[in-house]
A and B are shown apart, each in its own frame.
Chain A
Amino acid sequence: MAEADTDAPADAAERELTMSRAMVEAIAHEMETDDDVFVMGEDVADYGGIFDSTEGLLEEFGRDRVMDVPISETGFIGAGVGAAQEGMRPIVELMFADFFGVCMDQIYNQMAKNTYMSGGSVSVPMTLMTAVGGTYNDAAQHSQTLYGTFAHLPGMKVVVPSTAYDAKGLMHNAVRDDDPVVYMFHKRLMGIGWMPAPEGPKTGVPEDDYTIPFGSADVKREGEDATVVTLGLHVHRALEAAESLAEDGIDAEVIDLRTLVPLDTETVVDSVRKTGRLVVVDEDYESFGVTGEVVGRVTEAALDDLEAVERVAVPDVPIPYSRPMENEVIPDSSDVEEAVRATRE
């Protein structure tokens, strides 16, 4: 869908926010306007969220609406489901996406399926917020993105912002949506002191609320020679690659998917019809994941226009701890650059 307001309005330039500030601003706005919105999770109150995703909310809204909970994800994520079914709009944080294993039943059997199993008579307007991604040497249990796992299971919308502007607009949409939304933010993009962000995620953000429709991919850079489709941190790595390629006269188009469910196939296919070459970049494992899905959809829709396809993703190994090994498996801009070049050989 192309109706999204993909360009930031003029007043956005007035101030820049980190991605975490933008998320918090949206949450605070929703809490001010709707008493049914509350936040629950581990270390979300006094600490403000390990990744600053709830920084400052406790002071503004108090403990009743910003709730620290025991380390028991099944219990409190399931409680979010129950509160949502009562018509509240809980925002529940699963600290790391990697921890889903201890509570996946509440996520995919209760949160995601109750609407369907009830024949539409039950809604679960809940936002499950979770941190994803590596690139900071935290090893295999704290570095996964797992986009594919969540997007694979029907019944939840899956959102992956890459900039502060998108983070705010997508959060407003997530909280207002009558369905469960999994909001996956990359730690490296949040702008926290102990984990420097790359150039890019800190953007202009309007003071007022605004929404970005789900299913509207953003063409971050227009180009004629190849289409690079990606999301999250790798939007910035792909843009870096595109700048480098441009020096050699290769003009790459970079598309930020912004949401995985729904997936904006149309924008991707339109681009491939123009460029003929597709590179999909993902920080998740390669097999059975986002790269395969995007390639599959483009192949179904535009096989004749497709001259070359490359996938860039984590090569099906757990994320290693040591820096050189982690750098090896997580794609960087040179991997993207190489893949784009490969489509032209």
Chain B
Amino acid sequence: MFEDMVTARRYEERLQEEYLEGKQPAFDISAGPIPGELHLAAGHEPAAVGVCEHLRDDDTVTAPHRPHHVAIAKGVDLERMTAEIFGRETGLSSGKGGHMHLFDPDAKFACSGIIAEGYPPAVGAAMAAEKRNTDQVAVAYAGEGATNQGGFYESLNLASVHDLPVVFVVEDNDWAISMPKERVTAVDDNTKRAEGQDIPSARVDHNDAVAVYDAAEKAVGRARAGNGPTLLEVQVHRRMGHFMGDAEAYRPDAEKERLDAIDPIDRLEERLRDEGVDGERVDELRDQAEERVEDAIEFAKDQPEPDPEAAYDDVFTNPPSGVTDEEPGEEAISAGGDD
């Protein structure tokens, strides 16, 4: 868990550096080596590692638009993920997805750029497991801001009424972009909402990876044993703005909040030391993580950009005639024209 947490944190630090390159002085979102928006999850790591530690390769995870920590914890190919974020040809999605739309079928990982909309497909994955009588489980991630969306309630209800093997993870970071939780969410704790859907639930405060691990063990075990869904809410701290370039003018106490909150990595490191893991081993894990991240970023930067004509590929798995990989161009633009 510690290794994945420091990898995720280091990864985001390096993405941040790469992202800012070329975007200054007047912030230009499309400039620099990483185009588009970038939403970082520094401070959210325990919600990812504490849950994914219990998952198998064949369990499905759907992540929200802030996906890197979950992807790393689920074992998504780091090099290809980075290539995707850099918009390169060999990225997970051949440069068509970008950082909010990472798909790795090998790791059974997907995410969505739309708030709460990863919840229903996770319920569908759980439905598939149930119908095929496997013991696979599905895990759906969303932020606490997403819990005001219809998709959240619909998914909880559907999973509850069919006892589906799904774990709903809510990352409660107190902020829905610029909106503090208390101004947009009627309850301070989504276990209350889970109760309303007859779903067992737990809340873990203080961004504590070990506590998340323990709670998730029960939730995943429950799903795996065929006993239905669980909602697990984890208090996390958004250590960054909503997106890179967000000046957080709406959050005047942001710095103080960050200082007040104990960093979950520090918390876990202290615990490791208390339990007798020596400092050398901790440093070694940090070094390994750093090396892995550097390798991934170096790999990504070395990869070619996609051929512009590739924009016409992959609209369909089974393209109608006229929409083929071999004949990109005008005909393919019609996305369905067969003449």
A75 CA to B337 CA, complexed, in Å = 32
Q: Are A264 and B338 in contact (CB under 8 A)?
A: yes
Q: Which of B125, B161, B335 contacts A261 (CB 8 A)?
A: B335
Interface-lining segment among B33-41, B215-223, B274-282, B309-317? B309-317
Given A121-B103, A154-B335, A262-B336, also A116-B314 (CB < 8 A): yes
- The smallest beta-carbon distance between B305 and chain A, in angstroms, is 14
A125 CA to B317 CA, complexed, in Å = 9
Q: Encode contact with B along A175-211: 1 for CB under 8 Å, 0 otherwise.
A: 0011100000000000000000000000000000000
- The smallest beta-carbon distance between A269 and chain B, in angstroms, is 7
Does B201 make an interface contact (CB < 8 A)?
Answer: no
Interface-lining segment among A85-93, A163-171, A273-281, A312-320? A85-93
Does B124 make an interface contact (CB < 8 A)?
Answer: yes
Does A7 make an interface contact (CB < 8 A)?
Answer: no
Interface-lining segment among B1-9, B94-102, B174-182, B232-240? B94-102
Given A79-B127, A120-B314, also A151-B336 (CB < 8 A): yes
Q: Are B103 and A117 in contact (CB under 8 A)?
A: yes
Q: Encode contact with A along B310-326: 1 for CB under 8 Å, 0 otherwise.
A: 00011111101111000
Q: Are A154 and B315 in contact (CB under 8 A)?
A: yes
Q: Encode contact with A along B193-234: 1 for CB under 8 Å, 0 otherwise.
A: 000000000000000000000000000000000000000000
Q: Are A265 and B339 in contact (CB under 8 A)?
A: yes
Q: Are B122 and A82 in contact (CB under 8 A)?
A: yes
Does A72 make an interface contact (CB < 8 A)?
Answer: yes
Q: Encode contact with A along B328-339: 1 for CB under 8 Å, 0 otherwise.
A: 000000111111
Does A303 make an interface contact (CB < 8 A)?
Answer: no
For A87, the closest partner residue in chain B by CB is B128
Interfacial chain B residues near A265, Cβ < 8 Å? 337-339
Q: Are A64 and B131 in contact (CB under 8 A)?
A: yes
Given A74-B150, A84-B124, also A109-B117 (CB < 8 A): yes
Does A77 make an interface contact (CB < 8 A)?
Answer: yes
Within 8 A of A (CB), among B85-131: 91-97, 101, 103-105, 110, 112-114, 117, 119-129, 131
Q: Are B110 and A76 in contact (CB under 8 A)?
A: no
For B126, the closest partner residue in chain A by CB is A82
Interfacial chain B residues near A119, Cβ < 8 Å? 91-97, 103, 314
Within 8 A of B (CB), among A130-159: 151, 154-155, 157
Count chain B residues whose beta carbon lies closer than 8 angstroms to a beta carbon of A: 56
A286 CA to B150 CA, complexed, in Å = 32
Q: Are A105 and B320 in contact (CB under 8 A)?
A: no
Main secondary structure of the interface of A (DSSP, over half): mixed
Q: Are B105 and A121 in contact (CB under 8 A)?
A: yes
Does A250 make an interface contact (CB < 8 A)?
Answer: no
Interfacial chain B residues near A221, Cβ < 8 Å? none
Interfacial chain A residues near B131, Cβ < 8 Å? 38, 64-65, 83, 88
The bracket for how many chain A residues form the interface is 35 or more
Does B78 make an interface contact (CB < 8 A)?
Answer: no
Does B154 make an interface contact (CB < 8 A)?
Answer: yes
Q: Are B321 and A105 in contact (CB under 8 A)?
A: no
Q: Are B321 and A85 in contact (CB under 8 A)?
A: no
A178 CA to B318 CA, complexed, in Å = 6
For B93, the closest partner residue in chain A by CB is A119
Does A110 make an interface contact (CB < 8 A)?
Answer: yes
Within 8 A of B (CB), among A264-310: 264-266, 269, 297, 301
A sample of 7 cross-chain residue pairs with beta-carbon separation below 8 angstroms, ordered by A number, consists of: A74-B117, A75-B151, A78-B121, A83-B124, A119-B93, A120-B317, A155-B315
A-B pairs, top 10 by smallest CB distance, nearest first, are A78-B120, A82-B124, A75-B154, A119-B94, A82-B121, A118-B103, A262-B320, A119-B93, A261-B336, A79-B124
A residues at B contact (CB < 8 Å): 1, 38, 64-65, 69-70, 72, 74-88, 90, 102, 105-106, 109-110, 114-125, 151, 154-155, 157, 177-179, 214-215, 260-266, 269, 297, 301
B residues at A contact (CB < 8 Å): 60, 62, 91-97, 101, 103-105, 110, 112-114, 117, 119-129, 131-132, 138, 150-151, 153-155, 157-158, 161, 313-318, 320-323, 334-339
